[in-house]
């Protein structure tokens, strides 16, 4: 295809390129040889509508590998594995002649109630950004594109088409945008998908600050901004704001609006040229990559990768008295409907038609050495009666009597968590908790395996010896769960979100889901573990936690600052157990002293290491200088504070193994002084301070009477630190006339040069 320029097109043709031809396709322009391309759903598998299927492609999509959704895959903390999964996703996308896979989703898990949390990686922006970068790189290596979503501050499903996420500048930049910035700068996704919601009252689809100033000017993004399907509110406002492609089709309505706006002068045609050219460039990029991978799909190989990823994603929350791994000769009972009919993905636009589906019951029976009893224990059918639930519970108790170990599958029915609505609590269904109580009456040896897309409360954690958080693990999750239970896979997953004791402990509890079209992000910076640590709250299981069938010892960490300002942290890690294992090493950082509000610790880097029994390796983690910065609202930019920083090398956010301090050179921030500047700010000013020290001393001499009536030991200068400099004359009298104050301010702001 020859290079095509927007200047080669008519006004109407340019407008036509900025919206879809149908639900999944862009518009072609046959006159210049520009084809249509297809964009379709992901993110953990390809959901491509069959020919002749419903227009949404919800009920009849081509078979594809369903890899673990982000809630599971994120718990692997395995960048290389996630990139491999991305390559597999890209290959399947290429085989099906799809140009852009709509994912990954990297929104922050602000509240455990968000119905779409299963599609997102973490409550932490560094984890979300690093893992999002890995999957984007993997997918795009196959000649197809990604769509980084949902940009931005899209953290709930309630009223998602209209809600305004009202968030202050620092948390917006430091928490909700930071992951997007990492992926954009490191991987340049072909498209970025703007969200449905408003941000501080402005629709994301028509926000020039978000889509142009931040995304393009600040971050250097050069791809296409596409709307979430149906996210456009005002197309004529949205296009010059930076929204290039509206999806799906508007049946020509918004195309005509753009043409009319150019004709009446309310839209500059140059803005339309820019958007059309970006879409042309996307189509040309897709054409260049088309056919890089040819079919047929290697179903077996991709299923094996899905099984490996699922095994890596399971988190061993607790394992008292070594109940796991299971002995193959043990007498076992499997209880719980999810063992036979697995929950392996969430509901909504990301639902995949899997190429095959493993269930845990079959896999456990295949791995065990003897007979394995099974009872459903409960029904997930919405109409199940109390009598039916009681009968199932009694059947399960009978099956569990006399066995060595019960493997109990609990979790959330699919109807409870889905795109489109949020959960109302974090509790497991009452009938499941009643089943557990009944089983504990006949045996203490219970392994609980959880199937859930969002965290659940675990009030029974002190009553059962072993808990495996198996999340939603994709089509091979059943066999992978058996691999973990029997020790064929040594669990190494770790939590990328905190499991709280109760919903009322969570950061957004009083500010979710909002009211009257607004949701206030009142917790500010303190999202996830930042909140629990700052408030000293107990949690069920902390961020970063995950056990293994072996143990790891950490040596003394060291840290050094490189020429580029990045901090390189090294620590020796030893496998002190009897089996090979993998440890995820985490680095949390905080300044020893700060001029602004900061969390007690923030994850800034992580790395994994595989170790044989008795083996020691040195693990290196790189903390980027940029990630040490906070957003300074006074100058509207990132600022790294100078001084000592504490680096905590840890096995979780609450399991610190080694601590080291490192000195960081800071960024200078010089603010102009004014009459409203405080005395403390004046004294701290790098230019003004030395210049006016003598003058302030003279002023204070004029205030000796005030000092005389102060209690002994009270420093009047400290008391005046927050006093506006322009009002000091009321205290100092003739020693600080208004003219003298203005002269000193002018001299300081001029860099100390005498004023003409």
Q: Give 603's DSSP letter.
A: E
Q: How far apart are CA 102 and CA 150, in angstroms?
A: 10
| C-alpha radius of gyration, the chain, whole number | 29
Going by their DSSP bridges, the two strands 372-375 and 332-335 should be labelled as: parallel
As a whole number of angstroms, the distance between CA 594 and CA 597 comes to 7
Contact 116, 105 (CB under 8 A): yes
C-alpha to C-alpha distance for 352 and 346, rounded to whole angstroms: 9
Find out whether 586 and 650 touch, Cβ atoms under 8 Å: yes
Helices then strands, counting H and E runs in the chain, come out as 23, 25
List the one residue out of 156, 136, 39, 129 whose CA is nearest residue 86: 136
Structure tokens at 601: 């610790």
Q: Rounded to an integer, what distance in angstroms lies between the CA atom of residue 624 and that of residue 618?
A: 19
Q: Is 228 a catalytic residue?
A: yes
What does the buried/exposed string (b/e) look like for 723-739 if buried means 16 or more CB atoms within 10 Å of the residue's CB?
Answer: eebbebbebbeebbeee
Number of Cα atoms under 13 Å in the Cβ half of residue 237: 12
Distances (CA, A) of 150 to 82, 192, 223, 567, 719: 20, 8, 15, 31, 48
Alpha-helical runs (H) found in 232-296: 235-241, 253-264, 269-289
**For residues 554 and 662, is the Cβ–Cβ distance under 8 A?**
no
Residues recorded for the chain: 756
Residue 714 has phi, psi (to 5 degrees) of -80, 130
Q: Can you tell me which residue has the tokens 């003219």?
A: 739
**541 and 553 in contact (C-beta within 8 Å)?**
no
Which residues are 47's β-sheet partners?
A: 41
Exposed/middle/buried for residue 504 (C-beta within 10 Å: 0-12, 13-18, 19+): exposed
What whole-number distance in Å separates Cα of residue 605 and Cα of residue 589?
A: 9
Alpha-helical segments (H) within 141-224: 169-171, 178-187, 208
Q: CB under 8 Å to 739, separation ≥6 — which residues?
A: none
User: Could you say which of 159, 166, 228, 483 is catalytic?
Assistant: 228
* Alpha carbon distances (Å) from 287 to 38, 137, 227, 284, 537: 11, 18, 22, 5, 53
Which of the residues are catalytic? 228
């Amino acid at each position: 295809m020859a290079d095509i320029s927007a200047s080669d097109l008519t006004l109407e043709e340019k407008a036509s390129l900025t919206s879809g031809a149908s639900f999944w396709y862009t518009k072609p322009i046959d006159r210049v040889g520009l084809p249509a391309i297809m964009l379709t759903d992901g993110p953990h598998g390809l959901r491509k509508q069959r020919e002749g299927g419903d227009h949404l492609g919800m009920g009849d999509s081509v078979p594809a590998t369903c890899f673990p959704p982000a809630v599971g895959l994120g718990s692997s903390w395995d960048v290389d594995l996630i990139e491999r999964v991305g390559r597999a996703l890209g290959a399947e996308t290429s085989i099906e002649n799809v140009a852009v896979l709509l994912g990954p989703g990297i929104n922050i898990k602000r509240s455990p109630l968000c119905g779409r949390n299963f599609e997102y990686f973490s409550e932490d922006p560094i984890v979300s950004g690093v893992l999002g970068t890995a999957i984007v790189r993997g997918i795009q290596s196959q000649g197809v594109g990604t769509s980084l979503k949902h940009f931005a501050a899209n953290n709930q499903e309630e009223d998602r088409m209209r809600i305004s996420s009202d968030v202050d500048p620092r948390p917006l930049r430091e928490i909700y945008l930071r992951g997007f910035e990492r992926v954009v700068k490191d991987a340049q996704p072909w498209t970025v998908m703007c969200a449905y919601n408003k941000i501080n009252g402005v629709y994301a689809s028509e926000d020039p600050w978000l889509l142009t100033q931040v995304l393009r000017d600040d971050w250097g993004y050069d791809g296409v901004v596409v709307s979430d399907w149906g996210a456009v509110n005002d197309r004529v406002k949205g296009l010059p704001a930076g929204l290039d492609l509206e999806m799906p089709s508007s049946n020509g309505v918004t195309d005509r609006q753009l043409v009319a706006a150019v004709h009446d002068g309310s839209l500059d045609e140059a803005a339309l040229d820019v958007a059309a050219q970006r879409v042309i460039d996307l189509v040309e990029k897709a054409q260049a990559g088309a056919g890089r991978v040819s079919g047929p799909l290697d179903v077996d190989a991709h299923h094996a990768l899905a099984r490996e990823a699922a095994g890596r994603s399971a988190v061993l929350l607790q394992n008292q008295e070594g109940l796991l791994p299971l002995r193959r000769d043990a007498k076992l009972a499997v209880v719980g409907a999810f063992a036979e009919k697995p929950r392996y993905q969430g509901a909504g636009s990301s639902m995949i038609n899997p190429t095959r589906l493993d269930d845990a019951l079959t896999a456990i029976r295949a791995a065990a050495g003897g007979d394995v009893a099974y009872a459903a224990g409960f029904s997930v059918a919405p109409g199940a009666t109390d009598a039916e639930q009681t009968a199932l519970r009694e059947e399960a108790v009978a099956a569990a009597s006399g066995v060595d170990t019960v493997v109990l599958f609990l979790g959330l029915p699919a109807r409870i968590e889905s795109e489109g609505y949020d959960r109302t609590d974090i509790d497991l269904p009452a009938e499941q908790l009643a089943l557990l109580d009944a089983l504990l009456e006949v045996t203490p040896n219970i392994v609980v395996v959880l199937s859930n897309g969002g965290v659940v409360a675990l009030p029974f954690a002190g009553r059962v010896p072993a808990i495996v958080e198996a999340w939603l693990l994709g089509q091979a999750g059943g066999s992978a769960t058996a691999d973990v239970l029997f020790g064929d896979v040594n669990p190494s997953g770790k939590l990328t979100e905190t499991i709280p004791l109760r919903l009322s402990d969570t950061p957004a509890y009083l500010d979710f889901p909002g009211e009257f079209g607004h949701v206030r992000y009142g917790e500010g910076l303190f999202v996830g573990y930042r909140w629990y640590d700052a408030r000293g709250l107990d949690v069920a299981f902390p961020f970063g936690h995950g056990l293994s069938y072996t143990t790891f010892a950490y040596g003394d960490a060291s840290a050094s600052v490189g020429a580029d300002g990045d901090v390189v942290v090294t620590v020796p890690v030893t496998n002190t157990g009897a089996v090979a294992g993998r440890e995820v090493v985490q680095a949390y950082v905080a300044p020893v002293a700060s001029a602004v509000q900061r969390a007690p610790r923030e994850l800034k880097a992580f790395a994994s290491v595989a170790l044989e029994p008795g083996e020691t390796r040195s693990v290196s983690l790189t903390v980027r200088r940029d990630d040490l910065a906070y957003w300074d609202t006074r100058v509207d930019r990132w600022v790294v504070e100078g001084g000592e920083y504490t680096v905590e090398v840890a096995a979780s956010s609450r399991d610190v193994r080694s601590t080291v301090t490192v000195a960081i050179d800071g960024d200078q921030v010089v603010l102009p002084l004014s009459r409203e500047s405080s005395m403390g700010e004046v004294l701290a000013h790098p230019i003004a301070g030395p210049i006016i020290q003598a003058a302030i001393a003279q002023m204070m001499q004029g205030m000796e009477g005030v000092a005389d009536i102060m209690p002994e030991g009270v420093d009047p200068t400290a008391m005046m630190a927050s006093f506006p400099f322009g009002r000091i004359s009321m205290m100092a009298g003739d020693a600080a006339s208004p003219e003298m104050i203005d002269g000193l301010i002018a001299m300081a702001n001029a860099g100390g040069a005498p004023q003409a």
